[in-house]
Each structure stands twice: as C-alpha cells, then as structure tokens.
Chains A and B, each alone.
Chain A
C-alpha cells in the first residue's frame, strides 16, 4: 500500500523568507510524486511532479521540490515567500502498478504574513 505523510498541519513564514513544506512517502518501487495547491473554495491546482531524472524539480509560481530517495521525502520549497502563496498544499504519490490512483497527504496550510 502507498501512503503520504505531511507532518505539519500549518506552516507560518514571513514574506520574503524561504519556505519549506514537508512530505514523506511510502511506496513499493519507484514513486511518482506530485504537489498541488488549493486556494479557498477552489479545486486543486497542479504545481509540480517528479517522475524520473533530476532530483530537483521546478514548478509553477517559483516553487520547487527535492526528491530524496534515501529519506523517502519530497519537500516543497520556495526561496522567497509571498503573501499570495498562503493556501493549502497537498503532496501525493503514485506507485508502480497502481494504475492512475493517487494517494494524497492530509494537507499543510501555509500562512505567509507581512
């Protein structure tokens, strides 16, 4: 069975500071990893994904994520946070042989303040 853990319910950061939203996963075989963002009363928007290759993946809105196989982690990062980045962030994993099913984490609320 595949699973995702987002250990922080909320992350608070000041605008202009770097941010990290943590994600660890468990899957048999090589994972496909995804990050999504959800703004209030909206559906999820895709940010970035890791399929294979470079461990550092760049995505939308200046976000990036680093795949670390030994630590089974895929943390989301941004060098300089904006107030408009405040939203709910979800990490998701898909393992081999699971068709197209994604397993999502419970989400981390990012609050960026002035």
Chain B
C-alpha cells in the first residue's frame, strides 16, 4: 500500500516563526502536492511538484514556499507564520504524468498559529 507520512499531526507556532512541514511518500511517485483544508472552502492547492527540484504554484501560494531535494520528500515552508495560516495541511502524491491517477493523501497536520 502507498504510504504518505507527515512529520506532525498537530503543531502550534507563534506569529512570525518559520515553520517546516515535511511529507514523505514511499511509492516512488513523481508528483507531490500540498493543500490546505478549511471549513466551507474544501481543499485548495498551495504548491505541487512533478519532479525533484521542480515546483509549480497552485491556487494559493502566497506566504508559502516548497522544497523537493529528493523524490520521496516534499517540504512546505511558512517563511513567517501568520494567524491566517492556521489550517489543516494535507500532503498527497500520485504516480506519473497524465490525469488518470488518483492522489494518495497523508493524515494531515493541523497547524495553529498564535
């Protein structure tokens, strides 16, 4: 079974702190994604990556950056956390190119910024 793991289930940070969220997948997937989930808004794509060292902006990239140095690992960085970044963050991965593949999700990190 595909496994996507995220470094923390719950995280509490202070405004202005730099925050790192880590995601690791074990199925050699090319594509990796970061979403945030907010009530009433569904999932919104922050960034995605289709290869090592490659990244593309999603729908809401402002205030975030990403890093993909190894195929299995995709990091989301909040350069200076703000209270409006309090949310559930979900990482996902999927194989190959084309549109037919489903995405596999990690358990999520619930981030609270005080």
Residues of A within 8 A of B (CB): 9, 32, 34, 36, 41-46, 49, 51, 90, 94-96, 98-102, 104-107
A100 touches B90 (CB 8 A): no
Q: Are B99 and A100 in contact (CB under 8 A)?
A: yes
Give the A-B pair count, Cβ closer than 8 A: 63
- Residues of B participating in the A interface, judged by any CB pair closer than 8 Å: 4, 9, 31, 33, 35, 40-45, 48, 50, 56, 58, 90, 92, 94, 97-108, 110
Query: Is B108's CB under 8 angstroms from A42's CB?
Result: yes
Tell me the interface secondary structure of chain A in the complex.
Answer: loop
The one of A9, A32, A101, A105 that contacts B48, using a Cβ cutoff of 8 Å: A101
Q: Are A43 and B106 in contact (CB under 8 A)?
A: yes
If the complex has contacts A43-B90, A90-B43, are A100 and B101 also in contact, measured as CB distance less than 8 A? yes
Chain B neighbourhood of A51, CB < 8 A: 99-100
Q: Which residues of A contact B45 (CB under 8 A)?
A: 101-102
Complex contact B42–A107 (CB within 8 A): yes
Contact B102 A34 (CB under 8 A): yes
Contact B43 A104 (CB under 8 A): yes
